[in-house]
Structure 1
Amino acid sequence: MDSTDYEHGTVPADQRKSWISIAAVWIAIGIDLSGAFLGIALASGMAFWPAILATVTGSLLLGLLAMACAYVGAATGLSTAMISRAVFGKIGGAVLALALAISLLGWFAVQAGFFGSNAQIAFTELTGLELPVQLFTAIGGVLMVLTALWGYRSISRLSTLAVPLLLILLVVGVIVAFAMHGASGLDAPVVATITFGGAVSLVMGIFILGVVSAPDMARWAKTPKQAMAAGFVGFFFGNSIIIVVAILLARVMNQSELMTIYFALGLGVIAVVVLILAQWTTNTTNIYSAALSFASINGRLNRRTLTIIGGALGIVIAVAGAADFFVPFILAIGVVIAPYGGVYLAAYLTGRRSPRWSAGATVPTVDGWAIAAWAVGILVALATTNPADGLGFGWFSLTTISALDGLVVGFVVYLALLPMRRRELPEHVESAADPATSAAAGPAADPEEARA
């Protein structure tokens, strides 16, 4: 199998894929056990309809943002980490790529922990034996790393298999639950412990890292328009389906573990296979994107070697109990990583014809203005996050969604600083090959513009 994933350059036109296959990858990523965990948390901390509305709102915002981020990936053909190099410069881009890689590695560890927890429940239900959760976490992590070694093509094939099975399982589970228990549990009173804005932030936070790193998959799209279609469908439906189903099942069944719910419905054996497959597809992409981010730091770094090293480290962190810090972690991701998405969207919008979007272009060592915009976005996200909801100060409120606040402010600040940035850092017109990107291939221009 071809293992070339063009981590140091652009994806050639003849290797690009249809939007349906890319959307399937994102849907498979979205339908995972962390989404189920969040849905159950929302069901226990909010009234039913506000929880559903928060889920739809957060997923809709993710879908719209994903369209923009996916466009940049398809138009440039570059990975998210390589885009950070174009935006922040060589050293600045390496710092951002490192931050992305660490975030993705942490998310891999959290997801592997969820896998281990649910696999342990399933094993105990089926055999009556209790084995340490760490064993299941380690086995799951190894499977995910092995799939990631083969790159995007392997992930796409696994997702194509998983998505239909996942959708069938979720729909059947809801139908059986309502048939057995009715709908009375939907209106059961709860103590409101999660605000609406906090809920939307959580819904966005669980997949905001996926949105920001959307170019890792979108660069495989045939055209930017197809990437945008895949982004909206993949992120809106992929993110909302599992959360809505988890809210419904948690309310109707009055349970707090998805695997336990499916065993109570008599669907345990099917759920074991399908939900484990779901977590497998999701977490494979996390370690894949983490390796891409690490590889972008230096042209001599090999993605497959980094996948093995990063995967081993992620498994160790997962076994140590990373899943216990799930909610604080996704809120921290929203605060730190979301503003970067706003910065690179603004950078591409205002300078997409610049040669710096070519993988081999010369770029500044550090673009301080872009880093300043990112830093301001982080500070605003911290300032608008309610301490009761997670990492933040709660000094004031903008949209009530802190992850969105940071992204929008990063975008706006970059535009506001643009005149000063242009005076200090004029666009480079040369495109001499850089050692870190010597494997580059293909133009950075929008493929559709090139045909015009």
Structure 2
Amino acid sequence: MMTTTDYEHGVVPQDQRKSWLSIATVWIAIGIDLSGAFLGVALASGMAFWPAIAATVLGSLLLGLLAMGCAYVGASTGLSSAMISRAVFGKVGGAILALAISVSLIGWFAVQAGFFGANAQIAFAEFTGIDVPVQIFTGVGAVLMALTAFWGYRAINRLSALAVPLLLLLLLVGVIVAFAVNGASGLDAPVEQTITFGGAVSLVMGIFILGVVLAPDMARWARTPKQAMIAGFVGFFFGNSIIIVVSILLARIMDGTELMAIFFALGLGGVAVVVLILAQWTTNTTNLYSAGLSFAAISKRFDRRMVTAVLGVIGIIIGVIGAADYFVPFILVIGIIIAPYGGVYLAAFFTGRRGPRWAHGAAVPTADGWSIAAWVVGILVAVATTNPADGPGFGWFTLTTISALDGLIVGFLVYLALVPLRRKVEPDAAASAPASAEPSRLDDPARLDDGVSA
């Protein structure tokens, strides 16, 4: 019998928590996707082999360290990213952020479904010689992804547990066969350097940075904060680096520019199809899962599974009609809005984790102006540092070269800078809820054991 509630309005009970390895497996499954494969090929053709590997390791290491902090918050509170936003920004601010997260993730769900469909069509045509409309592959793939998202974290966890060992085995087979066919001479072949080392590190971090910010959605299932930190580091370090490293190796050895085509050139067409299906399925299902989780947090009247079903239908329609690409600039804007939130909630938690806002059943303010101010400054900096060629922004200056990370860091620092002033203005803030607080609860104990058997 499987409990199907995901505790979207409250805390994950201790008896439902999972091991660190179980949670790390989910993040590794999310990290192994076609975006990482394309990035690996780009790095292989734009810089020398060992610097490309070093940039991948460093970028993934930084992601892993950052994920440890975000995962700690999720496991310590037991709350999703959207519910944490209520504690940090208040009812209104939390609802706005939850809506932004939902729209962003459903957009990416549609984009990734379309991406899957296009690559599946090519792979199927290579494998069978039959040309099937791309909409068929997009629709079928998106439905599979939506089904596991509908059933929730436990279904995603089981899918990941099955998919990750198989994916790792198939990727290893590809590398071994490639070495056997062409040897290692291609690793040291000269290439024109078009990507700097710092730029490569930025690219490696950029493809998974929002996943770090939303880490509490998975980390809240950890048995202890320590296990969540271990899972966060292992999951993001290995999850982000594995597919990039494999793609760099295969692109160099085979002198190819497309991972699926490389597998077919090696006579591993079946492997290519399985990798394509599992990699995108395990990654994209979590986009829809977190979208539903966030939207449901806006109101206790919303049931996560019902919301997930509705959002899934919307995402499938957008993906099938091929409209997803038109939403990318809009989604990038929302990403800039979401990223600084990670820095703000980290600062808010670590400077006031014993405060009333994190207590079970705590009253939440209608809006927390201090947190919102730090969030807004982070957003403005992220917009200012975004190169217009890379997305919506002005490119006035650079900090880390990753605009999302810029916003996160600035949001964190601004919140810390405001803490002394806040304590002077609100001397009783640490001892009691803000005066504007309403009797709205962060979690509802009555829901903690309301699992539905299936």
Q: What's the TM-score once normalised by structure 1's chain length? A: 0.91
Distance (whole Å) between structure 1 residues aligned to residue 132 and residue 314 of structure 2: 22
Partner of residue 153, structure 1: 154
- Compute the displacement of 1:393 (Å): 3.0
Q: Report the CA distance shift for 1:355/1:285 in structure 2 as closer, same or farther (over 3 A).
A: same
Distance in 2, Cα, partners of 1:138 & 1:434: 40
User: Whole-Å Cα distance in 2 between the matches of residues 333 and 187 of structure 1?
Assistant: 40
How much has 1:48 moved relative to structure 2?
3.0
Give the letter for the 2:397 counterpart: F
> What residue is the counterpart of 2:221 in the other structure?
220
Aligned to 1:308: 309
**CA distance, structure 1, for counterparts of residue 359 and residue 42 of structure 2:** 44
The whole-number CA distance in structure 2 between the counterparts of 1:432 and 1:267 is 60
Q: What CA distance in whole angstroms lies between the structure 2 residues aligned with 1:56 and 1:391?
A: 28
Structure 1's 321 and 50: CA in aligned 2 closer, same or farther, altered over 3 A? Answer: farther
CA distance in 1, matches of 2:399, 2:220: 33
Letter in 1 for 2:149: A
Which is further off, 267-276 or 298-307? Answer: 267-276
Task: Quote the Cα distance in structure 1 between the aligned partners of 2:330 and 2:57.
Answer: 22
| Match of residue 235 from structure 2 | 234
Which residue of the partner structure matches residue 429 of structure 2? Answer: 426
User: Is the Cα contact below 8 Å between 2:340 and 2:410 reproduced in 1?
Assistant: yes
User: What code does the residue aligned with 1:238 have?
Assistant: G
The CA RMSD measured in Å over matched residues stands at: 2.5
Aligned residue type for 1:20: L
What residue in structure 2 maps to residue 258 of structure 1?
A: 259
| Amino acid in structure 1 at the alignment position of 2:151 | W
What is the CA–CA distance in structure 1 between the aligned matches of 2:15 and 2:364, rounded to whole Å?
28
CA contact (8 A) 2:120 2:276 kept: no
| Distance in 1 (alpha carbons) for counterparts of 2:92 and 2:331 | 26
Cα deviations by residue, 1:227-246 (Å, 9 ceiling, x for unpaired): 00000000000001001111
Q: What secondary structure does 2:363 align onto? A: coil
For residues 342-371 of structure 1, give each alpha carbon's deviation from its aligned partner in whole angstroms, at most 9, with x where no partner exists: 110000001101221235321111112212
Q: Give distance in 2, aligned partners of 1:5 and 1:358.
A: 20
The offset of 1:90, in angstroms, is: 0.2
Residues 322/184 of structure 1: CA separation in 2 closer, same or farther (3 Å cut): farther
Distance 2:268 2:230 in 1: 34
Partner of 2:141: 140
Match of 1:201 in 2: 202
Inter-partner Cα distance in structure 2 for 1:435 and 1:408? 29
Distance 1:298 1:330, change over 3 A: closer
**1:375/1:320 CA distance change after superposition, 3 Å:** farther
Which amino acid letter does the alignment assign opposite residue 277 of structure 2?
I
Matched-pair identity in %: 76
Partner of 1:27: 28
Given residue 110 of structure 1, which amino acid in structure 2 is its aligned partner? Answer: V
Q: Is the 8 A contact 2:121 2:131 kept in 1?
A: yes
Using the TM superposition, give the Cα deviation of residue 24 of structure 1 relative to its aligned residue in structure 2, in angstroms.
0.6
Instruction: From the superposition, tell whether residues 341 and 16 of structure 1 become closer, same or farther in structure 2 (CA, over 3 Å).
Output: same
Alignment-mate amino acid for residue 364 of structure 2: V
In 2, the alpha carbon distance for the partners of 1:405 and 1:164 equals 35
- Structure 1: 5+ residue stretches without partners: 443-452
Query: What is residue 451 of structure 2 aligned with on the other side?
Result: none
Question: What does 1:27-66 correspond to in 2, within 5 Å?
Answer: 27-66=28-67
Given that 1:33 and 1:279 are in contact with CA atoms closer than 8 Å, whether structure 2 keeps it comes out as: yes
- Give the CA deviation at 1:195: 4.0
Deviation at 1:432, TM superposition (A): 8.3
2:72 aligned partner: 71
Q: 1:434 aligns to what SS in structure 2?
A: strand
Cα distance in 1 for partners of 2:322, 2:186 equals 32
Residues 43 and 51 in structure 1, CA contact (< 8 A), matched pair in contact too:
yes
Is the CA contact 1:299–1:435 (under 8 Å) kept in the aligned structure 2?
no
Equivalence for 1:445: none
1:450 alignment counterpart: none
**Residue deviations 1:262-299 (CA, integer Å, cap 9, x gap):** 11111111331233122111111111111000000011
Provide Cα deviations, 1:310-348, integer angstroms capped at 9, x if missing partner.
111112222344675799688656633221111100000
Q: Is the 2:10–2:443 contact (alpha carbons within 8 Å) kept by the matching residues of 1?
A: yes
What is the SS of the residue equivalent to 1:363?
Answer: strand
Matches within 5 A, 1:247-396: 247-321=248-322, 324=325, 335-358=336-359, 360-396=361-397
Indicate if the aligned counterparts of 2:365 and 2:438 stay in contact, CA closer than 8 A. no
CA distance in 1, matches of 2:368, 2:439: 19
**Is the aligned partner of 1:122 residue 2:123?**
yes
Conservation of the 8 A alpha-carbon contact between 2:107 and 2:327: no
2:98 and 2:160 map into 1 onto residues whose CA distance is: 26
Which moved further from structure 2: 289-298 or 396-405? Answer: 396-405
Question: Is 86-95 or 252-261 further displaced after alignment?
Answer: 252-261
User: Residues 173-218 of structure 1, C-alpha deviation per residue, up to 9 Å, x if partnerless?
Assistant: 1121122123333344444444443332322221112111111111
Q: Which residue of 2 aligns with 1:18?
A: 19
Q: CA deviation at 1:426?
A: 2.6
SS of the residue 1:350 aligns to = helix
Distance in 1 separating the partners of 2:260 and 2:329: 23
Aligned AA for 2:411? G
Does the Cα contact within 8 Å between 1:360 and 1:437 map onto a contact in 2? yes
Alignment length, in residue pairs? 442
The whole-number CA distance in structure 2 between the counterparts of 1:320 and 1:371 is 37
Query: Alpha carbons of 1:127 and 1:307: their partners in 2 closer, same or farther (altered >3 Å)?
Result: same
Could you say if the C-alpha distance between residues 359 and 134 of structure 1 is closer, same or farther in structure 2, counting changes exceeding 3 Å?
A: farther
Q: Contact (CA 8 Å) 1:162, 1:274: kept in 2 or not? A: no
1:261 is displaced (CA, Å) by 1.3
Match of 1:86 in 2: 87
Instruction: Assess if the C-alpha contact under 8 Å between 1:75 and 1:219 holds in 2.
Output: yes
1:449 is matched with which residue?
none
AA in 1 matched with 2:23 = I
**Is residue 2:416 matched to residue 1:415?**
yes
Task: Decide whether aligned partners of structure 1 residues 312 and 189 sit closer, same or farther in structure 2, where only a CA change above 3 A counts.
Answer: farther
Q: 1:31 to 1:56 in 2, by over 3 A?
A: same
TM-score (norm 2): 0.90
